[in-house]
Amino acid sequence: MPIFTTSILTGKNLLFFANPEVKKTRGRMVWLVCEVSLVRITDRTEIATIRDR
């Protein structure tokens, strides 16, 4: 199920979806965030933009 939350950086509402094929990166779960662009956030709160193809 999607998780609703508010972005700490922009204050905008975010909609989290659990990736059906979620991969563990160094033992951390990866989530997809739907905002202006897709953003990948790890539990270390590192943010990397995922470009739309």
pLDDT at 17: 53
Which pLDDT score, from 0 to 100, does residue 32 have? 47
How many domains does the chain fold into?
1
- Residue-level pLDDT at 13: 59
Give the strands of the sheet with 31-34, arranged side by side.
3-6, 13-18, 31-34, 38-41, 47-50
The pair of structure tokens assigned to 39 is 């953003």
Q: What does each of the 53 residues of the chain score in pLDDT, given as a tens digit?
A: 455 565 666 666 555 555 545 555 555 545 444 443 444 444 434 344 444 43
The pLDDT assigned to 49 comes to 41
Count CA atoms closer than 13 A to 37's CA, side-chain side. 9
Range of the domain at 24: 3-50
pTM above 0.85, yes or no: no
Report the 10 Å Cβ neighbour count for 14.
19
